Structure 1
Amino acid sequence: MSPSTFQGIAYVQGKVSGQLLASNIELSFWGGTNPQTGEIIDRHHTLSGQFLQDTILAIPGGRGSCSGSGVMLELLLNDKGPKAILFERREDILTLGVMIAEEVFRKAIPIVMLGPEGFREVLGLDGRFVHVVNGRVYSDESLVTLDEHTLETGAIQSLPLASDVELSDIDRAFLDGAYGEAARVSMRIILRMADLLGARELMDITQVHVDGCIYTGPGSLIFAEKLRDWGGKVRVPTSLNSISIDQKRWRAQGIDPVFGEAAEKLADTYISMGARPTFTCAPYQLESAPKVGEQVAWAESNAVVYANSVLGAKTMKYPDFLDISIALTGRAPKGGPHVKANRLASVIARVTGVPGAVNIDDSFYPLLGYHVGAISPGQIPVVVGIESFSPCKDDLKAFGAAFATMSSAPMFHIVGATPEATSLDAVINEEFHPRSIEIDLKQLAESWNQLNSASHPQPVDLVSLGNPHFSLTETRKLAELCRGRAKDKNVAITVTCGRSTYGLASQAGLVGELEAFGVQFITDTCWCMITEPIIPPSTGAIMTNSGKYAHYGTGLTGRPFYFRSLARCVEAACGGCIADVPGWLSG
């Protein structure tokens, strides 16, 4: 191949060289990359088992969790991250992690957006030594210009703050330090993100949901403590996502004290800045859930998708650390799904050949969401063909969580089920030239096989429920399925839920009833953060009704997974058959 030069847009400038590690598949850093070692642990990804350290990483974009920015920060602070990242399109979450490292820790890597054509050509250089200088990528050092040779290798050059963002008087006051150092740094971070998004003004928001309270490593704690010590106080109502431990029970559960104390300290730091200890990844279950049209700033991928798609509220998919920055100022970039034109679909997913609603079970919705996310990795889709199914809120929650695992898009539409999709025409813009994709049973069966990583029939020793957090309705349904049955003593069944739901379920007598059956309840944390000893070491498999956890769980736990409906999960807990495929899918 002849030497080539590729021009892109640098969101963080600098000069580095390294071996190209490339894939045409998006990657979630949270649940997909180990921040302590730099290994890619997403076992469904083409780069699984590769290490990021000393590479130039090329991927179309990120996907999945908003905590990817936290993982990126830890990778950079641990010197386990890539030397630079080349994206096909604009990427918010991972780029924000680099910006935080630069603004707070004075450590960063070049970030370059190449666009579709340049990215496709760069993929052909996989495995070769390449050179990144500001916004250019070179396949041969001889192509680097004389002026660029004067840059010191490894040097990072900060971009100035966006100069054409219209600032209000209070924005300028924040930036000038009138409201303290925490607010000043927060406003710098917000303006850098506004520049990335192309937003030209900021807007007021009514509430924030913070995902940065998840302990990804020392960097996440140091960042929060700096904001606290700089006098940071939230200016709008702020809820907290699931944390990395069950705050009230972690010692009794045998959690490593070093990890447990650090995770607890992080949660307390956010509380000290005025955030509420809601500790749930499903803030839409709280009484404070936003209304249709309300402008909010939520992080946590499934919560963002649910807020936009099901509640009809308006939020971007805010990265960790940007969430608290917005909470400390009450100001956010006016862009993305905050603007009506950016909420329209550019992919039409037509479901064909699927049996009617009376024949499917609740595994249908996360499976469909997982598949739609895979075929629409960066674009908002609209699903047609299931208008008669009438999915409930828990079905939409399961769909959205699995969708957000595979896609970076901040929302979806389902005609006849989500509030803005009163018709197909209501949510598409013909100027986007939307592409139409048919989804049939054969394709869903392929996605089913991906989620079921157990390669041969293996005994189940853990049934995992509540990713995202179980609702009161789901808890009631579980109790109905367990009544009159006996749990197998060799199978554990564990539910994660928020404190609010746990309290309501306790008042209704459901917790006592399910605990008598053998269910263990865990609050405050969620399955993407749970490890040993809550998940005991064994050779058995884990069964879950969560498409999200079935995807991430293999890499996070090293265990094989079964994905099934809630009823099948209860059967497995009782020692029943687990190897079957649902009739609606096999038929």
Structure 2
Amino acid sequence: MKAPNLASTRCPSLYLTREQEALLAGEGGEALRLAMEILVALGEVYGAERLIPIESAHISGTSYTSCGDAGIDLLSRLASQGARLKVPSTLNPVAIPLNNWRKLGFPEQLASKQLAILDLYAELGAAGAVTCRPYLAGNLPAFGSHVAWAESSAVVYANSLLGARTNMEGGVAALASAMLGLTPLYGLHLAENRVPTELVKVDVELSSDLDFSLLGYFVGEALGGGIPFIQGLPSWAGVEELKSMGASMATSGSMAMFHAPPHTPEAQAYSVEALASTSVGRAELSRVLERLSCSGGLKVDCVALGCPHLSLEELRRVASLLEGFKVAEGVKLWLFTSEAVACLARQAGYLRVVEAAGGEVLVGGCVVHAPLKELGVEVLVTNSAKAAHYCASIHGVEVCLAPLHECLRAAEVGRWPP
């Protein structure tokens, strides 16, 4: 007798193979049943036709400050049920730096909970990486490949600059996809949903790392959602600048992709003549800066760079500016990056320069998830609009936004403006 189609009972529009139906019925164990139930529910909500295989996953909600004890309970349950991740899977940054949290005064209780989460992910078979830039740590999808990534800045980068295909997954959905090697076919996995929806004309000369971060924040806030087609970016803009722009775009708006000729691989496929357009000039960027950045006359407690995580090139730039430099007494200079990048930077000699200047390289951590006020941070300087947005709203600290060289100058003199 033919087994009943359980999936059709739950979600008539979503086709499941016999193997997938069996998993949904619990024949692969409770952990896989739960994972399949999550993906089927997502497929139902978004009208997916079927589930498709993925090449990798990137899982967010890995910080204890995000998932709490409920996250530990879920991971413990999955591990006890023998769950394993089916595809290569990297993890987002966490609430403590993995290399020197005790030295920097991070709370023992927070560290204990955070390390327990990472141990559980390791038991599930996660590759680690502990970064918001998994493409710099071995999780580098090919053009046109399907992945299930959570972490807004990484999703924008994957869709826009790599031409991979992922929706803006939640942490639990990405975990379910990692366990099954599947994701529902909807949204940005479909070519018809990757078409630009509005033209953005850049009518200003972008001259610093901060300019790109402010531009992204303006675009996300002005458009709200959709897929912008950005004209007028300078030809010299590299992946670091575009990474910063995309991260800010996803912070102020619901955006998971942009096109920007000649920098993004899919832009050439589209005509934008019929699109509504928005222009951005220096006045718009200045207004964003005025809203996100604090006023002057402040003593600086911390200068934080690396939101998203610093690349090897960005650490090289920082090191070149820190030669012969000393951080002011009482000021923290924190540089956030991944273990993979930090290892290369140490071999290249960049970390020696940073440490000689009085700076600290924080591996796997995130300034947004750090307990800033417990660590004595009331005034923070950064070059990231994303960090400014979240550190002010979550932690209530004063945030000063500046280009990289001004951030380092503030670390040297210990006041704002430098």
Please tell me whether residue 445 in structure 1 is matched to residue 261 in structure 2: no
Deviates more, 1:200-209 or 1:247-256: 247-256
Pairwise mapping of residues 112-151 of structure 1 onto structure 2 (< 5 A)? none
| SS, match of residue 203 in structure 1 | strand
User: Hey, what does 1:419 align to over in structure 2?
Assistant: 265
Select the residue among 566, 569, 572 that pairs with 2:407. 569
User: Hey, what does 1:196 align to over in structure 2?
Assistant: 45
Would you say the 8 A contact 2:88–2:139 is kept in 1? no
CA offsets, 1:326-349, max 9 Å, x none?
A: 011111101111111111111111
Cα distance in 2, alignment partners of residues 218 and 348 from structure 1 = 44
Select the residue among 203, 207, 223 that pairs with 1:376. 223
Question: Following TM superposition, by how much is the alpha carbon of 1:533 offset from its aligned partner in structure 2, in angstroms?
Answer: 6.7
Question: Following TM superposition, by how much is the alpha carbon of 1:448 offset from its aligned partner in structure 2, in angstroms?
Answer: 1.1
Pairwise mapping of residues 100-499 of structure 1 onto structure 2 (< 5 A)? 161-215=10-64, 216=66, 217-352=68-203, 354-355=204-205, 360-386=207-233, 388-422=234-268, 425=271, 434-452=275-293, 454-499=294-339
| SS, match of residue 332 in structure 1 | strand
Would you say the 8 A contact 2:261–2:268 is kept in 1? yes
Using the size of structure 1 for normalisation, the TM-score is 0.67
Q: Which amino acid aligns with 1:571?
A: R
Question: Following TM superposition, by how much is the alpha carbon of 1:318 offset from its aligned partner in structure 2, in angstroms?
Answer: 0.5
Would you say the 8 A contact 2:13–2:48 is kept in 1? no
Question: Following TM superposition, by how much is the alpha carbon of 1:401 offset from its aligned partner in structure 2, in angstroms?
Answer: 0.9
Cα distance in 1, alignment partners of residues 269 and 50 from structure 2 = 32
Cα distance in 2, alignment partners of residues 255 and 488 from structure 1 = 21
CA offsets, 1:328-375, max 9 Å, x none?
A: 1111101111111111111111112x13x5xx1111110100100101
| SS, match of residue 321 in structure 1 | helix
Q: Which amino acid aligns with 1:487?
A: V
Cα distance in 1, alignment partners of residues 60 and 300 from structure 2 = 31
Which of 1 and 2 has higher RCO (CA within 8 Å, sep 6+)?
A: 2
Question: Following TM superposition, by how much is the alpha carbon of 1:287 offset from its aligned partner in structure 2, in angstroms?
Answer: 2.9
User: Hey, what does 1:508 align to over in structure 2?
Assistant: 348
| SS, match of residue 308 in structure 2 | strand
Would you say the 8 A contact 2:230–2:260 is kept in 1? yes
Question: Following TM superposition, by how much is the alpha carbon of 1:512 offset from its aligned partner in structure 2, in angstroms?
Answer: 1.3
Cα distance in 1, alignment partners of residues 105 and 113 from structure 2 = 15
Q: Which amino acid aligns with 1:470?
A: L
Question: Following TM superposition, by how much is the alpha carbon of 1:435 offset from its aligned partner in structure 2, in angstroms?
Answer: 2.2
Question: Following TM superposition, by how much is the alpha carbon of 1:484 offset from its aligned partner in structure 2, in angstroms?
Answer: 2.6
Would you say the 8 A contact 1:161–1:188 is kept in 2? no
Q: Which amino acid aligns with 1:214?
A: S
Cα distance in 2, alignment partners of residues 207 and 424 from structure 1 = 28
User: Hey, what does 1:152 align to over in structure 2?
Assistant: none
Would you say the 8 A contact 2:322–2:353 is kept in 1? no
| SS, match of residue 531 in structure 1 | coil
Q: Which amino acid aligns with 1:422?
A: Q
Using the size of structure 2 for normalisation, the TM-score is 0.93
Cα distance in 2, alignment partners of residues 293 and 218 from structure 1 = 37
Cα distance in 1, alignment partners of residues 241 and 121 from structure 2 = 31
Pairwise mapping of residues 81-100 of structure 1 onto structure 2 (< 5 A)? none
- Cα distance, 1:329–1:338 mapped onto 2, change above 3 Å: same
User: Hey, what does 2:4 align to over in structure 1?
Assistant: none
Please tell me whether residue 553 in structure 1 is matched to residue 391 in structure 2: yes
CA offsets, 1:205-256, max 9 Å, x none?
A: 0111111322221111112222222221111111111122223433343333
User: Hey, what does 1:536 align to over in structure 2?
Assistant: 376
The alignment's C-alpha RMSD in Å is 1.9
Write out the 4+ residue segments of structure 1 that deviate beyond 4 Å after TM superposition.
Answer: none
CA offsets, 1:357-396, max 9 Å, x none?
A: 5xx111111010010010121211111122x343111101
Give the structure with the larger helix fraction. 2
Cα distance in 2, alignment partners of residues 392 and 383 from structure 1 = 15
Q: Which amino acid aligns with 1:543?
A: V
Cα distance in 2, alignment partners of residues 312 and 534 from structure 1 = 41
- Cα distance, 1:482–1:255 mapped onto 2, change above 3 Å: closer
Deviates more, 1:166-175 or 1:470-479: 166-175
- Cα distance, 1:532–1:288 mapped onto 2, change above 3 Å: closer
- Cα distance, 1:248–1:445 mapped onto 2, change above 3 Å: closer
- Cα distance, 1:423–1:458 mapped onto 2, change above 3 Å: farther
Q: Which amino acid aligns with 1:565?
A: P
| SS, match of residue 232 in structure 1 | coil
Give the structure with the larger strand fraction. 1
Would you say the 8 A contact 1:242–1:281 is kept in 2? yes
- Cα distance, 1:533–1:551 mapped onto 2, change above 3 Å: closer
Where does the alignment leave 5 or more consecutive residues of structure 2 unmatched? 1-8
- Cα distance, 1:495–1:248 mapped onto 2, change above 3 Å: closer
User: Hey, what does 1:14 align to over in structure 2?
Assistant: none
Question: Following TM superposition, by how much is the alpha carbon of 1:192 offset from its aligned partner in structure 2, in angstroms?
Answer: 0.4
User: Hey, what does 2:6 align to over in structure 1?
Assistant: none
Q: Which amino acid aligns with 1:268?
A: D
Larger Rg: 1
- Cα distance, 1:239–1:308 mapped onto 2, change above 3 Å: same
Where does the alignment leave 5 or more consecutive residues of structure 1 unmatched? 1-159, 581-587
Question: Following TM superposition, by how much is the alpha carbon of 1:173 offset from its aligned partner in structure 2, in angstroms?
Answer: 2.1
Question: Following TM superposition, by how much is the alpha carbon of 1:537 offset from its aligned partner in structure 2, in angstroms?
Answer: 4.3
| SS, match of residue 200 in structure 2 | strand
Cα distance in 1, alignment partners of residues 144 and 269 from structure 2 = 18
Would you say the 8 A contact 1:415–1:424 is kept in 2? no
- Cα distance, 1:187–1:558 mapped onto 2, change above 3 Å: same
Q: How many residues align?
A: 408
